[in-house]
A = this chain, B = another copy of it.
Amino acid sequence: MKIILKKDVFLNSIKAVKGIVGSRSVQPILSSILIETVSTDRITLTTTDLNLSISYTTNAEVVKEGKIAIGAKVIEEIITKLPDNKDISIELNEETNVIVIKSEKTKYDVITLNPNEFPNVYRRSDFSNLNEDEKQFEILTKDLNKAIKQTAFSAVQNEVGGVLTGICFTINENTLETVATDGNRLTRSRIPINSKGENLTFICAYRTLMELSKLISLVDDKTVKFTVLPNRILFEFENIFFQSGLIDGTYPRYQQLIPTTNEKIATIDREKLINTIDRVSVMVNNRTNIMKFNFEDSSLEISTDTPEAGSAKENMDIQYISENLLIAFNYKYVLDVLRNIQNEKIRIEMSTNLSATVIKPEESEEENSGDSYLCLIMPVQVR
């Protein structure tokens, strides 16, 4: 194989695929990038962690076709350090598996891995003809990114697996609903989508969506095409082909958990509330993260204390005319949702100090789009 391409083009390609490459992989091949020539002027870079894979196709002068597998870390470091705006030539010595990388007066000989050991990953060509099991949708990258970012933080974030480490997607009646929960809180986001009459539910891993979200943030506002198979999902946008396994299992029936009749309603300036919680949090007990919220006529006192360190409290003016309520939450759950709302004001809907509380943006009559975003938080019992 021999290819010639510009530094910047090559570096962008590497950055697009390197996210899922483990630095602590047991199998060295999983730390590598597979670089393949695909036509006389295009190459594809591919990485995989076995569950998910990313392919990025870009322009290059293909002098001789072929493929190589090279450590992601070393190739990124080399290309980063080579001079800007210059051509880089990469040539494989097929006998020694050594590739020669040249630019200006610099020459690297890098020992590479056997590209035939690179795991088989799904290719765009594997899905050239949809069959009836494959459902295909289109969505704006910014909408998909918003749906992920607004909910993913509530998912269980560990490697053990299980449905709660994923985000549940439901497509129904031209709405894409995403939900994540860790058992103590639940967030739900709804955005419009052209569902073409399809009804569909699937669970996609937190880690997969974080990688996808990072990639989406790199591209300009475009459309993402995604294809759902019984156990797999494919995303296509710009030069990127991203595919991942789905989580097998049944997601909890969350609809019935969301209270609709909470009658104690506070309306609060979002940014002021964030700042107050942040100031009071200095004295929070880091083992429990418990913060007390005392709602009284038009006023909210937020307080916290840690026996050996001290206490903090602050009052703020709010809209609240129901009866007094002292309720406590893990303050991090409250901050997480407040930071994912853009509206100036938020609404807290409560019933008792032990029942599920709903936090959502305060929307005017016109912009009310049917609870497009909400977060349910279970209070913490305090003496």
In the assembled complex, the Cα of A33 lies from the Cα of B118 at a distance in Å of 57
A308: interface (CB < 8 Å): yes
- A: residues with CB less than 8 A from B are 74, 77-78, 81-82, 98, 105-111, 276, 278-280, 282-283, 305, 308-316
Residues of B contacting A98 with CB < 8 Å?
310
Residues of B contacting A280 with CB < 8 Å?
106
A74-B282, A278-B81, A282-B74 given; A108·B316 CB < 8 A:
no
24 contacts between A and B (CB under 8 A): A74-B282, A74-B283, A74-B309, A74-B310, A77-B282, A78-B282, A81-B279, A81-B282, A82-B279, A98-B310, A105-B316, A106-B276, A106-B280, A106-B313, A108-B283, A108-B310, A108-B311, A108-B312, A109-B305, A109-B310, A109-B311, A110-B309, A110-B310, A111-B308
Whose C-beta in chain B lies nearest to the C-beta of A316? Answer: B105
Q: Report which residue of A109, A111, A280, A310 has the largest number of chain B beta carbons within 10 angstroms of its beta carbon.
A: A310
In the assembled complex, the Cα of A74 lies from the Cα of B276 at a distance in Å of 17
Whose C-beta in chain B lies nearest to the C-beta of A303? Answer: B107
Whose C-beta in chain B lies nearest to the C-beta of A278? Answer: B81
Q: Which of B105, B283, B316 meets A314, CB within 8 Å? A: B105
Whose C-beta in chain B lies nearest to the C-beta of A78? Answer: B282
A-B contacts besides A81-B278, A107-B313, 5 pairs, CB < 8 Å? A74-B283, A74-B309, A105-B316, A109-B312, A111-B309
Whose C-beta in chain B lies nearest to the C-beta of A81? Answer: B279
Residues of B contacting A310 with CB < 8 Å?
74, 98, 108-111
Residues of B contacting A74 with CB < 8 Å?
282-283, 309-310
Residues of B contacting A105 with CB < 8 Å?
314-316
Residues of B contacting A82 with CB < 8 Å?
279
Whose C-beta in chain B lies nearest to the C-beta of A82? Answer: B279
Whose C-beta in chain B lies nearest to the C-beta of A310? Answer: B110
Residues of B contacting A311 with CB < 8 Å?
108-109
Residues of B contacting A109 with CB < 8 Å?
305, 310-312
Name the distance in Å between A289's Cβ and chain B's nearest Cβ: 15
Residues of B contacting A312 with CB < 8 Å?
106-109
Q: Report which residue of A82, A276, A305, A311 has the largest number of chain B beta carbons within 10 angstroms of its beta carbon.
A: A311
Whose C-beta in chain B lies nearest to the C-beta of A281? Answer: B81
Name the distance in Å between A205's Cβ and chain B's nearest Cβ: 33
Whose C-beta in chain B lies nearest to the C-beta of A75? Answer: B282
Residues of B contacting A106 with CB < 8 Å?
276, 279-280, 312-314
A282 touches B314 (CB 8 A): no
In the assembled complex, the Cα of A326 lies from the Cα of B315 at a distance in Å of 73
